[in-house]
Chain A
Amino acid sequence: MFRQLRAALRTGIVTEPPPAADDVEGLGVRLGAEIRRRFGRSLAIRQVDAGSCNGCELEIGGLTGPHYDLERFGLHVVASPRHADCLLVTGPVTRNMAEALRRTWEATPDPKIVIAVGDCGRDGGIFASSYAVVGGVADVIPVDVVIPGCPPSPRALLAGILDALGRRR
């Protein structure tokens, strides 16, 4: 127990500065002023895997770690869609997950936003022509922000979310 504490105190803070305005290509999506005002400083994110290969999940996992630290912006990940303001959807929506995704969206209280992650989330990505895939997330539920990439790096994810919320300088 003490060894862990000593290591923690010795290592110090490793968080990197947030992505600057010109760091990642402008995604051009900015949510409405109302949404920005509500969620600008406190956003609860619920990640939904709608059939992804988990490449995006690994990148999203890095967001909560010490290097990218989502929490310093007031964003945090929650377990239940009832607690969420934002659904972070990954993967091409497979036929088996379409209904589940729709129910998750219905379970989320309003106002809510949906962020589709990755090329798969945008339009099905490399799986688009598969018989098992419905299409991008927008084919199932209304999408507010798309963060393309295969997979998008944590930096790009962070830039995308902050940009949408109007938090990037």
Chain B
Amino acid sequence: MSGAVYGFAALASLAAGALGVHGLLGGTWTLAVPWLLPLGGLELAMDRLAGLFIAIVALTALPVSWYAIAYDRDARGGRGAYLAFLGAMIVVPLAANAMTFLVAWELMSLASWLLVAHQREAARAAWVYAVMTHAGFACLLIGMLWLTAATGTMAFADWRAAVPGLDPTTRHVVWALLALGFAGKAGVIPLHVWLPLAHPAAPSHVSALMSGVMVKLGVYGLVRVSLDWLGVGPPWWGVVILVVGTCSAVIGVLYALVDHDLKRLLAFHTIENVGIILIGLGAALVFQPVGAPELAALALVAALYHTVNHAAFKALLFLGAGSVLHATGTRNMEEMGGLARRMPWTAACFLVGSIAIAGLPPLNGFVSEWLTFQALLQNLSVARPALNLAFALALAGLALTAGLAAACFVKAFGISFLGLPRSEEARHAHEAPAAMRAAMVALAAACVGLGVGATLVIPALAAVAADLTRGAAVPIAVFGGVTVRVSDDFASVSTLTVAGALAAALLLLAVGVRLVGSTARARVGDTWGCGRILQTARMEYTATAFSSPFKRVFDFFYRPRRRLDLDVHPESRFFVRSLAYESATRSIFDDWLYAPLMAGLRHTTATARALQSGSANLYLAYILAALLLMLVLG
């Protein structure tokens, strides 16, 4: 039964994917059903950007739904909520007026909340998620209603036309509110607290969709509000997004480094990758108003490409983590190990995902990070020292993120899949069923294809970017179907050539080693352990140990709380009977932002409770006072 539901979801995704690709390649259409919704009705409009995001949603949901056929066989995840979730996510990019948008958005949030809350042990995650998503929704609602009041219409097309007549303060305030709402959904620092709680708690196929696709709709909103609905904004919009993006990228990966829950680590990486996307978007928003629209288009292509890539590899990684959870019953990396021999398909797919997310050539993550670098590197065209410095710091931040992400995935893949199994469950792990494997292989192939076939993807994205920057010439040329050239001769890359060269080099080496006579078969022995008698999993490096250099280097950020409890022998304190060591990192956002905020909120509500005295006479007095006030004001 659940197979039928997910199968239907897969088919629907395929159809929606075709629709999205059609839109991406230039097919525009509109649809209006005035009686379906109040205050403007249902209005849908397809353009290139919407087509791109629908393609992202649908083509990620296709393998994920296929995966869910086998993963959710006993139907503990909500199937109806899943279908509603998918449907809402496809409508959001198509929405052409505020009402449609907000209804679809809220439906998406509610459906995903239901999917998170379905799990018994996810109570806190569900609560935090509900609060944050509705706080964001409140910002969106106020922003959109304000703009509706200022322009007198709810349709997006009319907003675009009404922009020149808008009062600047209104524009800035509306932008700030809408950006805040969308940024919260995208999970940028410091509005990220719900992400690492909700994404791990949801079932793996839902996490894949939430991380891979739902946060992208936050990015979609940011792109729309900063480039489309409100016209060309001032440079400070871009600087804010650039700074927030850089901070999210670096902080996201720093938190991922010290996390040993496989799915929460992936959730933090989502924050990091959204940061990278926002670096590209922020650069675009800075370049456009200062007279470099081609560079803005370049940065936009980079941001959109990374959006596509992230959907592919994040979904792949979450499906892999789900496969591991399915086999071992645990998400804790410290209890895994040696899974590469027991689950070879999952391991290979997870490896492809790890290489992609670490931004290593010739896979897709590398191409979009490379493009982002190129956009940032050309900032000297804008001769404003303050902006140049911001760009230089963003460059450094992006480079640091790239390095740390690779380090983190060495940990994630190496500790979970390599070495000896650290628990009974890991020892008895089994490979995932065929449907799950097929989904992962499809996404892995997508990662490879998006990387090696960059020359095919870029023209489509360039068309989207040209649309958004009002026809600027995108400075990316595809040369000979193989090379991507940026800004004439500033830089060029060819992942196809690199992949081919690597393959050729590998072949050459294999043949060459054989030719020089080094053909002796390897003898199998024990791991060298300095002559010790036994090798057990306790002698391996642990995830905590792996991340300890980072904990030390960045300890001003992690603020670890170390505790050592010793239980010594009563006869002599030199004989220790047992010891307990705890080294926990603290989140500075929880300590310095949310804890005081919640404390203040509680204090305020406690004070306000005085109004609810429970006395009926007092309530009648309130009604009278309100009535008099309204009569006076009216």
Using CB atoms and an 8 Å cutoff, list the residues of chain A in contact with chain B. 80-82, 97, 99-101, 103-104, 106-107, 109-110
Contacts and interface: CB of A to CB of B under 8 A. Distances in A.
Interface stretch (B62-70, B185-193, B521-529): B521-529
Nearest to B522: A109
B629 interface: no
Contacts of A104: 531
A81 B533 contact: no
Nearest to A82: B528
The bracket for how many chain B residues form the interface is under 10
A94 B528 CA distance: 21
A74 B525 CA distance: 28
Nearest to A105: B531
Interface string B511-533: 00000000000010110111111
A126 B112 CA distance: 79
Nearest to A80: B528
B531 A99 contact: yes
Contacts of B525: 106-107
Nearest to A48: B531
Given A99-B533, A110-B523, 5 more contacts: A99-B531, A100-B532, A103-B532, A104-B531, A109-B523
Interface in B493-546: 523, 525-526, 528-533
A103 B533 CA distance: 8
Query: Which 4 interchain pairs have the tightest Cβ spacing?
Result: A100-B531, A103-B531, A107-B528, A104-B531
A104 B529 CA distance: 9
Interface of B: 523, 525-526, 528-533
Contacts of B531: 97, 99-101, 103-104
B526 A107 contact: yes
15 contacts: A81-B528, A82-B528, A97-B531, A99-B531, A100-B531, A100-B532, A101-B531, A103-B531, A103-B532, A104-B531, A106-B525, A106-B526, A107-B526, A107-B528, A109-B523
A104 B533 CA distance: 11
A104 B530 CA distance: 7
B52 to A, nearest CB: 52
A47 B381 CA distance: 61
Nearest to B527: A107
Contacts of B523: 109-110
A90 to B, nearest CB: 15
Secondary structure at chain B's binding surface: helix, strand, loop or mixed?
A: loop
B531 to A, nearest CB: 3
A101 B526 CA distance: 14
Contacts of B529: 103
Contacts of A101: 531
Contacts of A110: 523
A142 to B, nearest CB: 16
Contacts of A109: 523
Contacts of A107: 525-526, 528
Nearest to B529: A103
A89 to B, nearest CB: 12
A106 B528 CA distance: 10
B25 to A, nearest CB: 56
A82 B529 CA distance: 11
A3 to B, nearest CB: 32
A110 B531 CA distance: 18
B536 to A, nearest CB: 15
Nearest to A102: B531
A106 to B, nearest CB: 6
A85 B243 CA distance: 56
Nearest to B533: A99
A80 B526 CA distance: 13
A48 B528 CA distance: 14
Contacts of B530: 100
A82 B531 CA distance: 12
Q: Which of B525, B529, B531, B532 has most chain A Cβ within 10 Å?
A: B531
A34 B388 CA distance: 66
A14 B599 CA distance: 74
Contacts of A99: 531, 533
A130 B579 CA distance: 39
Of the listed residues A81, A103, A110, the one surrounded by the most CB atoms of chain B closer than 10 A to its CB is: A103
Nearest to A81: B528
B185 to A, nearest CB: 52
A101 B530 CA distance: 9
A107 B525 CA distance: 7
B458 to A, nearest CB: 46
Nearest to B530: A100
Nearest to B528: A107
Contacts of B533: 99, 103
B516 to A, nearest CB: 14
A80 B533 CA distance: 17
Nearest to B532: A100
Contacts of B528: 80-82, 107
A80 B527 CA distance: 11
A80 B529 CA distance: 10
B373 to A, nearest CB: 37
A46 to B, nearest CB: 11
Nearest to A99: B533
Contacts of B526: 103, 106-107
A82 B530 CA distance: 11
Nearest to A50: B531
B532 to A, nearest CB: 7
Nearest to A107: B528
B186 to A, nearest CB: 48
A45 B530 CA distance: 16
A50 to B, nearest CB: 10
B446 to A, nearest CB: 39
A100 B533 CA distance: 7
B400 to A, nearest CB: 30
A114 B82 CA distance: 67
A79 to B, nearest CB: 10
A111 to B, nearest CB: 10
Nearest to B531: A100
Contacts of A106: 525-526
